[in-house]
Every structure is written in structure tokens, then in C-alpha cells.
């Protein structure tokens, strides 16, 4: 028969699962954004890489905020534009939602946002220098917006959880089950 976990043991187990989930999520994001091409194509890009790639990347990079976003909106009737706009937001919603569970300090909005900016900027700079994609400041804006949406969802979930816990504690107090369970 399985031993029943204490509340603290169950909490620690859940944190381990969330950390593993967050790691898998980060690996999927890196695969989708950086290593999106077939492996043969990535090898060919890496094999032909030279210093000029950085200059070419700088020429094709978008450093003008909202330039690409405006283009996506202007051509919203084209499926690719809609997918890019919405996809760039949605792919980072889990980041903003999961990070505060993985790292308590990220429960602060600004800490979560700073981590999102650093992660996204790292991806964009890698794309700039590697030719495995193109640097676009609008990707940073959209990805961070997605992280903010995820963080707002985290706040909603936590508010609901705290409310349920308060109700349960009040119920336990009224029935006396809280004290009895502590004794057992």
C-alpha cells in the first residue's frame, strides 16, 4: 500500500513536476524558434557560416518597433500573418504562467518580465549571429506580451486557489476537521 504524502511532500512533488514541465516547454520553444528547419538544412547553414552572416543579419534585421506588427495587421487576411502575430504571443503564455511556480522570486511581475526579455532577447541575438532566423524587435514585443498574458493567468489561478484555501480553512474551523486531521 502506498504511503500517503504529507501536504509538504505533495507540494514538493508538484514543484518538481512543474519544473520538469517548464524545462520541457523551454526545450520545445528553442526547437520551434531556433531549430525549426530540418537538421540537414541546419547543418548546411552552420557549415557555410562566416563573419559576413552577421552583417547580412544586421541588414535584414528589424530594429523598428511595431514595423512587423503593422505589416501583420495590414495583411491579416493572409493566414501566415495571423499565425505569426498570434503564434508569437501564444508561444510565451506558458513562460509567464509557469515561471512564478518554478522560481518564487518570479512571482513579482517585473522579475518575470525581465526573465522573459532576457530569454527572448537571447533567442533573437542568437538568430542574428547564427543565420538560424532573423532578428526582429517585434518578436521581442509579442513574445513578452505573451509572457505578460501568462502572468495575468497565473495571478487569476492563484487568486482562485487562495480563495478556495480560505474557504476550506473556514470550513475546517467550523467542523473541527482541521485540528483532528493534524492530530491523526
- How far apart CA 9 and CA 12 sit, in angstroms, is 5
For 136, the 3-state DSSP assignment is strand
Q: Read off the pLDDT of residues 64-108 as tens digits, 9 standing for 90 and up.
A: 999 999 999 998 888 788 899 999 999 999 999 999 999 988 889
- How far apart CA 105 and CA 119 sit, in angstroms, is 16
Please give the model's pTM, rounded to 2 decimal places. Answer: 0.84
Question: Residues near 138 by Cβ (< 8 Å), separated by ≥ 6?
Answer: 62, 65, 66, 67, 68, 69, 88
Q: Are 88 and 143 in contact (CB under 8 A)?
A: yes
Q: Tell which wins on pLDDT, 7 or 123.
A: 123
Q: Tell which wins on pLDDT, 113 or 47.
A: 113
The yes-or-no verdict on residue 27 having pLDDT over 90 is yes
**Residue 62 pairs with which residues in a beta bridge?**
136
- How far apart CA 14 and CA 154 sit, in angstroms, is 16
What's residue 183's pLDDT? 44
Closest CA to 146 of 107, 104, 98: 98
Q: And the C-alpha cell for 160?
A: 482562485
Q: Read off the pLDDT of residues 161-173 as tens digits, 9 standing for 90 and up.
A: 999 999 888 888 8
pLDDT band with cut points at 50, 70 and 90 for residue 7 = confident
The yes-or-no verdict on residue 1 having pLDDT over 70 is no
- How far apart CA 160 and CA 162 sit, in angstroms, is 6
Q: State residue 62 phi and psi, 5-degree precision.
A: -105, 110
Amino acid at each position: 500500500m502506498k504511503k500517503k504524502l504529507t501536504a509538504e511532500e505533495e507540494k514538493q512533488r508538484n514543484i518538481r513536476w512543474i519544473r520538469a514541465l517548464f524545462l520541457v516547454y523551454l526545450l520545445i520553444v528553442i526547437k520551434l524558434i531556433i531549430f525549426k528547419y530540418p537538421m540537414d538544412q541546419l547543418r548546411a547553414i552552420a557549415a557555410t557560416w562566416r563573419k559576413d552572416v552577421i552583417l547580412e543579419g544586421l541588414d535584414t534585421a528589424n530594429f523598428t518597433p511595431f514595423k512587423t506588427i503593422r505589416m501583420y495587421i495590414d495583411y491579416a487576411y493572409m493566414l501566415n500573418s495571423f499565425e505569426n502575430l498570434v503564434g508569437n504571443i501564444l508561444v510565451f503564455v506558458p513562460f509567464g504562467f509557469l515561471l512564478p511556480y518554478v522560481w518564487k522570486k518570479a512571482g513579482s511581475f517585473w522579475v518575470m518580465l525581465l526573465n522573459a526579455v532576457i530569454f527572448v532577447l537571447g533567442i533573437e541575438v542568437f538568430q542574428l549571429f547564427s543565420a538560424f532566423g532573423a532578428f526582429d524587435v517585434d518578436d521581442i514585443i509579442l513574445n513578452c506580451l505573451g509572457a505578460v498574458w501568462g502572468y495575468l493567468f497565473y495571478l487569476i489561478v492563484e487568486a482562485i486557489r487562495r480563495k478556495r484555501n480560505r474557504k476550506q480553512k473556514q470550513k475546517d474551523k467550523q467542523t473541527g476537521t482541521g485540528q483532528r486531521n493534524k492530530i491523526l
